[in-house]
Structure 1
Amino acid sequence: MPPIGTNIALGLQIENHKTIVAQIANELGGFQQAAQYLNKCLYYVYIGTNNYSLNYFQPELYNTSGTYNPEEYAQVLIDELSIYLHVALQTSVRANSANNGSCVEELNDVEAIFSEKLKSLVDQSNTLYVDSKSIFINTTAIRIDGSLGFRVFASSCCPIKSDGFCIRDSIPCTNRNEYIFYDGMHPTLAANNIIASLVYDSTSNPEVTYPTDIKRLAQLVI
């Protein structure tokens, strides 16, 4: 499988953010003013799925699954994320949501190990950084079925290649609101709207967020 594309590592993303924070501080007259401004922000981190679908479950490209069992690999990811999360929380991050989610059963099984460790990391962060709040979002707990208007569950809206992405210049389906997946991995807009609604307010399905949802996170006075 050819490379998916250029990725910006999480560590570099945080370094870029620190540069932006410095620029904001310069614009507003100091880091204290920048911190007050950034206190209004919500930082969203989507992590885990690609580490598994595009690495752990690609033994022909990576030896990760031969080096680590699922428990060990989950801990490696958590240890690395913990370092970056602490750096981010020390750089004016006050509200943060960490999301892990996939839609393939085998992938879900191993990611469940990662998810439990991620919840523990959220607890640790909330204990260590009392002036910031983090939550965990588990989109694997969301079940989308025909009662919501969807009719196609196992096929993608666009014709896909072996890597799960759409064939270039192919014609997608015209009834995409009835599909859960646009390509082999990514939900359609219709499915994402349902996911976003539950992530924002998970009252109807508390398993989706921990320890609270985005709606109540935004209402907290930090």
Structure 2
Amino acid sequence: MASTAAPLALFLLAASAMGGGGGAQAQPLVPAVISFGDSTVDVGNNNYLPRAVFKADYAPYGQSFARHQPTGRFSDGKIVTDITADTLGFESYAPPYLSPQASGKNLLIGANFASAASSYHDDTAAMYDAITLTQQLEYYKEYQSKLAAVAGRATARSILTGALYVVSTGTGDFLQNYYHNASLSRRYDVGRYCDLLVSIFSGFAEKLYKLGARRIGVTSMPPLGCFPASIRLYGEGPGACVARLNRDAETFNGKLNATVEALKGRHADLKIAVFDIYTPLRKLAEAPVEQGFADARGTCCRTGTAKTRVYLCNPTTAGTCRNASSYVFFDGVHPSEAANVFMAESMVEAGIELVT
């Protein structure tokens, strides 16, 4: 597997050079990381939602993570926000907001509001008893008050202004809603549906800006047609990515890029960038061996057969593959830690833009 050591080191060197030298112990390049979204960045909030349909609180999830225990992350190990925090110089990760750990000094390095099965459209999240994006924003407002109580208003304001905000969602709007919701697909063709979703993002970003955010990174839509679950459900060829679904993702991404540029034009002091995960994940899915992976069609864990577990690992199956790092996907829709590390490489350039 290709190593990210060199590009991540260049990222750190470039950012530290912009910020000045000094002999003191290096500090994180931003004071906090604050995350919103779905299972791509959920670090355990759904563990605290009794009715949530999707959870990763059981083995084999977390088998490559610290203490080899499931944490609620939908991977064998680290997810992209963990790798981002590592790159920025953090020694620990912002806690899931619903957890007991989200209190006291732990709040100083940020918070994670993401919820598996959440989405841009609140109706999608509600179908799976996930935390809607609207509710995530309300929790963020609550977090602001808690942070001020811990750090004082002036320090809290500085943390919130300097923090990196990550928004990663949208997959569920297609895979969990649009593609099997006939009434929705009749009301909106793909282009108009993407317009709806990016308008929701634009409104969300504007609200974050008004609440003090000045550094926002939003992930692109991944190649929806290359997920093993998508190929299984919608595929027509022998294991090939589903071209129609990938075109839908590309349509969304084009509109998201335009929306981000418009936000930049409206706010001169806002640093905002798209974190492209479409390109590297599609590269992995279509040519895994060239990137040091062995398999992009199978999954490391065995997916379940029950309706609510069709995309996920099954807690009742014994064992997983011997080497998760050789697989692009850990379950039917979520990348392995090794693939997340590979995708993080493509986020370096956008990350430098935001933190320097």
TM-score by length of 1: 0.84
Q: 1:54 aligns with which of 171, 176, 179?
A: 176
Deviations 1:12-51 (A, max 9, x none): 1111111111232344443x54322222211110122111
Percent of pairs identical after alignment? 24
Residue aligning to 2:138: 15
Offset, 1:151: 0.9
Asked if the contact 1:156–1:179 (Cα under 8 Å) also holds between the matched residues in 2, the reply is yes
Deviations 1:43-102 (A, max 9, x none): 11012211111111223xx63222211011001112222222111111111111111232
**1:68 paired to 2:68:** no
Structure 2 distance, partners of 1:116, 1:93, is 24
Structure 2 distance, partners of 1:101, 1:88, is 20
Alignment partner of 1:109: what SS? helix
Asked if the contact 2:275–2:346 (Cα under 8 Å) also holds between the matched residues in 1, the reply is no
Alignment partner of 1:154: what SS? coil
Asked if the contact 1:45–1:97 (Cα under 8 Å) also holds between the matched residues in 2, the reply is yes
- Residues 202-213 of structure 1: matches in 2 within 5 Å? 213=350
Structure 2 distance, partners of 1:63, 1:42, is 38
Residue aligning to 1:217: 354
Amino acid at match of 2:314: I
Structure 1 distance, partners of 2:148, 2:259, is 29
Structure 1: 5+ residue stretches without partners: 202-212
Structure 2 distance, partners of 1:140, 1:159, is 25
Structure 2 distance, partners of 1:55, 1:138, is 23
Residue aligning to 1:167: 314
Alignment partner of 2:297: what SS? strand
Bigger CA drift: 14-23 or 3-12? 3-12
**1:153 paired to 2:153:** no
Structure 2: 5+ residue stretches without partners: 1-51, 55-127, 226-241
Amino acid at match of 1:196: A
Measured at CA, do residues 111 and 148 of structure 1 come closer, stay the same or move farther in structure 2, by a change above 3 Å? closer
Q: CA RMSD in A?
A: 2.0
Offset, 1:3: 4.5
**1:85 paired to 2:181:** no
Measured at CA, do residues 29 and 188 of structure 1 come closer, stay the same or move farther in structure 2, by a change above 3 Å? closer
What is the aligned residue count? 204
**1:192 paired to 2:340:** yes
**1:183 paired to 2:331:** yes
Structure 2 distance, partners of 1:200, 1:192, is 13
Structure 2 distance, partners of 1:29, 1:175, is 47
Asked if the contact 1:53–1:107 (Cα under 8 Å) also holds between the matched residues in 2, the reply is no
Structure 1 distance, partners of 2:129, 2:322, is 30
Structure 1 distance, partners of 2:187, 2:134, is 23
* Larger relative contact order (Cα-Cα within 8 Å, sequence gap ≥ 6): 2
Structure 1 distance, partners of 2:161, 2:53, is 37
Deviations 1:122-161 (A, max 9, x none): 1121122222211012211111221222111211111113
Residue aligning to 1:205: none
Amino acid at match of 1:175: N
Task: Name whichever structure is richer in strand by fraction.
Answer: 1
Structure 2 distance, partners of 1:134, 1:167, is 38
**1:123 paired to 2:255:** no
Bigger CA drift: 100-109 or 47-56? 100-109
Structure 1 distance, partners of 2:292, 2:262, is 40
